Amino acid sequence: MIQSNFFQHHHIRALLLMCVVLLSVRMQAQSSNARLTMEIRNATLESLVKRLENSTGFTFVYGEEVRLNSRISLQVKQLTISELLEQAFRDQPVEFSINGKHIVLRKREMPKKKERRRFTISGCVTEQGSAETLIGANVTEGRYATGTSSNTFGLYSLTLPEGEVSLTFSYLGFRPQQSRFVLTRDTVINIQLAGNVELQEVVITSQRKEAGIQSANTGSHDIPITQIRHTPSILGEADVLKTLQLMPGVQAGMEGFAGMYVRGGTPDQNLVMLDGIPVYNADHLMGVFSVFTPEAVKNVSLFKSSFPARYGGRLSSIVDVRTNDGDLHQYHGSLSIGSLTDKLHLEGPIRKGKTSFSLSGRFMPTALIPNAVNTSESYGTHISTDKYNYYFYDLNAKLNHKFNDRSRLFLGFYRGKDHYHYYNDDKPTDYSSSPQQYYTSKARLNWGNLIGYARWNYVFSPKLFGNATVAYNQYRMTLQEDTENRKIQNGNTLEHQIYTSKFHSGIRDWSARMDFDYTPSTSHRVRFGSEFIHHLFSPGVSTAHEGNYGTSTTPADTTYRTSINQAQRGFELSLYAEDDWELSGRLSLNWGGRLTLFHTQGKSYLSAQPRLSLRYDLGNGLAAKASYAHMAQYVHLLSSTPLSMPTDLWVPITRNIRPMYSNQYAAGLYYDGLSGWEFSVEGYYKQMRHILEYQDGVSFFGNSTYWEEKVEMGEGRCYGLEVMAQRTVGKTTGWISYTLSKSERRFKDGSISQGQWFPHKYDRRHSVNLCLNHKFSDRIDVGASWIFYTGGYMTVPERQTIVIKPDGSIGQENYISHRNNYQLPPTHRLNVGINFNRKTKHGMRTWNISIYNLYNAMNPNVVYTKQENIYENFAPGEIITQHTKTTIKKLTILPLIPSVTYTYRF
């Protein structure tokens, strides 16, 4: 009986063990044969491995010699784990084997390099159909885990060992394309990528080597034009600078306007460029809109720190806006009718495959109405009539000629202008009585930019590209007023007086620039070049003409001409060199420098500006960056208001006013290991020297007379922390960012705030930006943006003090403890927009409905102070006392504003 029980238990244990083994084998077979569906974009092999471990139960085993930092894009359906890995590692220096629940990775032996020659693959990456060049397209070779990206003109260069190569060309919103061949000599491959409708939901990503998470640069962003077009703004007008204001570390000066204050800087410390040419006034309508028409724009890049050495001349940021070259093969365009402006865009071939054009225009319909606003008022024997009008327009034109695959010529033109005029007519209603006065007054204010350039792009060799540019750039403001006064009786003119005054200011640049792009190896990309600029500053020139007829006491005609400040010339010469260098699979850097000489008024200023940026790949999609940049600035903008006024004056450095300098340090952590997401945390510290502030009680408003005596040079410091999370793939995309910052100024000589640190006018401690887009279908998509930031600062009198003047009299003066002593209330606002799209036989129709400031937040657009006298009489017979009370008033001029825009693309 005991033996029987023992035998029975023994067989039960054996049976259970066999079941476990069979179950394990069955589970292994199920796991090995399970069908997987997966999609990843621009992810590392390491992130793919982690994702497979989490979703399949397999464990990957590999040593330090196996490098998984290569980036791939993969889309598979119903593949086994073995088939998926075969496709993922096909062009990688990695091989695998499956042992049970373990997947062992080994380094694949590569052919010996010492016996193999190296050749260069070069070419241009363009859009299929239009042949529009693609900036920052990725070119990767999987077997050697190396790659590059196309430059500003779509050109790339990649040097590899001879033999079989497998290239992958990819770009945001386009289908990747592969090219496999045997490399035996230097080869030119021009690639045309087709648009991928499945990727239209992608809003923003950072694949480029120059900007974003994968670059060595800190504080850099690439903003796709699709994101700019879908970000709701005031009156439904898509705007480049308004979208940039939603980036961390970037703030608007005044609520609703386009001024940019980047990391504690001022608007004149931003270098805003159109196709590489500086734009001195980037605003319309006092900053409500920017001068960039979205239909003409191809790419926008923002640099807030670690500025590449090819950029210079400003302290705070670089905004590089590139325009369309023009379709070389077919005609297309768009027509847009909005609440405020109308826009037209056309592009196409002049000679197919050789010459193309791109033309964009934007204007306000009020330009067609001589006097858009008319008002009349009667009083006594006179009637007064007022007539007003305002409009602005932009015109972008570009000509692109392709001589051959090595040589291309670009001609570009931009003209933008704001125009305001006012007319007043005060005339009598009865001319037959006693002498009557007849008075008229006309005022015209115009301002705008004019840019023209010629650019020649040439491929000297597969490794060396050249770009030569000559350009003319002008900003000009003109204010003219005409008055006429007549004395009339019985239809006869007894006296006739006229007075005409004209004031203008501006800046003109002639420039020549030569840039080279040299790629000696896959780990080096060297840029170097030089630039010469001839500046002509006209801070203020005034002329007047006076005529008196019918009187004998004054001459009939008198002309006056006054140069408030003599025209001043400046000569600027710059040399630069920079190198994008991959030191290893994990460490990369961008280092270089810029040497600048500025000569004016017989004095020369020489500045050496080193730049250094480092990036270290920590693995698992995590990277660390650090950077240092030294910048110099030779021009200043004199302004008294937070608005972008046409009366703001550009002035250069002088014998007494030295250049501004900055040193900026930045460091951060960046993570893109979670599919479709990017996260970043970045801190910065910036020092500034020789920055200008107005003296107490002094302001500029269209008058730069003796401006050097009205300013003080001091120092500034800014530091902060920026946190950002963004969703880059899917139907819902966008980002949220938070900025914690502080910006201060100090003037050690005690001329301002007794030499103590005081907050900058736009020192906002906290700032939150949220931007979301959701695509319901091909017909309907929505966008929303929400902002919140704490208030800036202004200077207000705290109380009045009794003072004894030198003549012995007693008076009162305002007491202010320090500049910017009052903090304004916070600002917050929600904008929403919805697009209704419909495909037609000949194109696409889109209706956009937008609401600016959806919940009608009464934010202070304008803040001013008002003093009121308060009289107190405590009892009959007592002396009445007087106090002066300062009251802060706010004005909201941008409440809830709905708008409708119709766009037809053909």
What span, in angstroms and rounded, lies between the C-alpha atoms of 259 and 283?
8
> What are the beta bridge partners of residue 193?
127
Looking at domain 118-199, which of 1.10.287.130, 2.40.50.1020, 2.60.40.1120, 2.40.50.100 is its CATH number?
A: 2.60.40.1120
How many Cα neighbours within 13 Å face the side chain of 418? 24
703-711 long-range contacts, Cβ below 8 Å, gap at least 24? 703/540, 703/564, 704/505, 704/539, 704/540, 704/564, 704/565, 704/638, 704/649, 704/651, 705/540, 705/564, 705/565, 707/539, 707/565, 707/638, 707/649, 707/651, 708/654, 708/656, 708/657, 711/638, 711/657
User: 724 Cβ partners below 8 Å, 6+ apart?
Assistant: 248, 678, 679, 680, 735, 736, 737, 738
In this prediction, residues 402-426 reach a mean pLDDT of 92
Q: What is the mean pLDDT of the chain?
A: 83
Closest listed residue to residue 561, CA positions, set 637, 632, 500: 500
User: Which residues touch 673 (CB under 8 Å, ≥6 apart)?
Assistant: 43, 44, 46, 47, 50, 620, 621, 622
Q: What are the tens digits of pLDDT across the range 608-643?
A: 999 999 999 998 889 999 999 999 999 988 776 655
Q: What is the Cα–Cα distance from 617 to 623, expressed in whole angstroms?
A: 4
User: Which tokens is 95 given?
Assistant: 């091989």
Taking 50 as the threshold, does the pLDDT of residue 71 lie above it? yes
For residue 181 the two structure tokens come to 């061949």
What is the SS3 string spanning 221-282? Answer: EEEEHHHHHHCCCHHHCCCHHHHHCCCCCEEECCCCCCCEEECCCCHHHEEEEECCEECCCC
What are the phi and psi torsion angles at 82 (to 5°)? -70, -45
Q: Confidence class of residue 697 from pLDDT cuts 50, 70 and 90?
A: low
What angle separates helix 45-56 from helix 81-88, to the nearest 10 degrees? 170
Q: 133: which DSSP letter?
A: B
d(CA 448, CA 732): 39
**Ranges 256-260, 445-449, 556-560, 597-601: which has the least confidence:** 556-560
Mean pLDDT lowest among 218-232, 598-612, 801-815, 886-900: 801-815
Among the listed ranges 253-257, 734-738, 837-841, which one has the minimum average pLDDT value? 253-257
- Give the HSE-up count for residue 12: Cα atoms under 13 Å, Cβ half-sphere: 6
Model pLDDT, residue 32? 57
Beta bridge partners of 578: 527, 592
User: Model confidence over 8-33: pLDDT tens digits?
Assistant: 444 444 433 333 333 343 333 345 56
**pLDDT(572) > 90:** yes
In sequence order, the β-bridge partners of residue 20 are: none
Tokens 């001068």: give the residue.
291
What are 52's strand-pairing partners?
none
The whole-model pTM stands at: 0.80
- Please enumerate, as own/partner, the contacts of 241-247 that have beta carbons within 8 Å and a separation of 24 or more: 241/282, 241/283, 241/290, 241/292, 241/319, 242/290, 244/300, 244/302, 244/319, 245/769, 245/787, 246/735, 246/737, 246/769, 246/771, 246/785, 246/787, 247/221, 247/223, 247/302, 247/304, 247/737, 247/769
Res. 815: pLDDT tops 90: no
pLDDT of residue 526 exceeding 90, the answer is yes
Identify the CATH assignment for 34-107 out of 3.30.1370.120, 3.40.50.300, 3.40.50.740, 3.30.70.60. 3.30.1370.120
The span from the first CA to the last CA of the chain, in angstroms, equals 94
SS3 868: strand
Q: Is 354-846+901-905 CATH 3.40.630.10?
A: no
Give me the half-sphere count of Cα atoms (radius 13 Å) on the Cβ side of residue 845: 6
**Contact between 252 and 243 (Cβ < 8 Å):** no
- Distance of CA 173 to CAs 156, 508, 583, Å? 19, 40, 31
d(CA 165, CA 91): 9
**Residue 876 pLDDT greater than 80, yes or no:** no
- For the CA atoms of the chain, what is the radius of gyration? 33
* DSSP characters over 293-349: -GGGEEEEEEESSS--TT--S-SSEEEEEEE----SS--EEEEEE-SS-EEEEEEEE
Mean of the pLDDT values across residues 88-100? 83
Strand pairing category for 464-489 and 492-521: antiparallel
| Number of neighbouring beta carbons within 10 Å of residue 867 | 12
pLDDT tens for residues 165-204?
A: 888 898 877 888 888 888 888 889 999 988 764 434 434 4
* Of 249-258, 358-367, 720-729, minimum mean pLDDT range: 249-258
Instruction: Point out which residues pair with 622 in neighbouring strands.
Output: 619, 671
Other Cβ atoms within 10 Å of 706 Cβ, number: 9
The pLDDT of residue 432 is: 61
CA atoms within 13 A on the CB side of 252: 30
Rounded CA-CA distance 786/232 in Å is: 10
pLDDT of residue 724: 94
Fill in the amino acid letter for 229: R
- Above pLDDT 90, what percent of the chain? 36
Predicted confidence (pLDDT) at residue 900 exceeds the cutoff of 80? yes
| Per-residue H/E/C for 793-804 | EECCCCEEEEEE
SS3 (DSSP) at 483: strand
C-alpha atoms less than 13 angstroms from C-alpha of 665 in its C-beta half-sphere: 4
Domain ranges in the chain are 1-27, 34-107, 118-199, 354-846+901-905
Q: Is the pLDDT of residue 215 over 80?
A: yes
Rounded to whole angstroms, the Cα distance separating 164 from 662 reads 49
Half-sphere CA count of 598, side-chain side, radius 13 A? 22
C-alpha 583: how far from its chain's center? 30
Helix axes 81-88, 2-33, angle to 10 degrees: 40
Give the Cα separation of 783 and 246 in Å (integer).
Answer: 13
- The average pLDDT across 365-385 equals 79
What gap in Å lies between CA 45 and CA 703, rounded to an integer? 62
Q: How confident is the model at residue 812 (pLDDT cuts 50, 70, 90)?
A: low
Token duo for residue 508:
């003109």
242 with 218: CB under 8 angstroms? no
pLDDT at 806: 67
Residue 409 has pLDDT above 80, yes or no: yes
Question: What is the structure's pLDDT at 437?
Answer: 78
Q: Is a pLDDT exceeding 70 seen at residue 98?
A: yes
CB within 8 A of 221, min separation 6: which ones? Answer: 206, 211, 212, 247, 301, 302
Q: Which residue has the tokens 């203008």?
A: 504
Distance CA 182, CA 117 (A): 13
- 787/242 Cα distance (integer angstroms): 12
Q: Which residue has the higher pLDDT, 368 or 341?
A: 341
Per-residue confidence band for 46, with pLDDT thresholds at 50, 70 and 90: confident
Joined together, the tokens standing for residue 548 give 């008196």
Q: Which residue has the tokens 């225009």?
A: 361
pLDDT of residue 590: 92
- How many residues can be counted in the chain? 906
Helices (H) and strands (E) in the chain, counts: 5, 55
Region of residue 348 (left: phi > 0; alpha: psi -120 to 50; beta: else): left
Mean pLDDT of 380-407: 89
Pairing between strand 277-278 and 732-746? Answer: unpaired
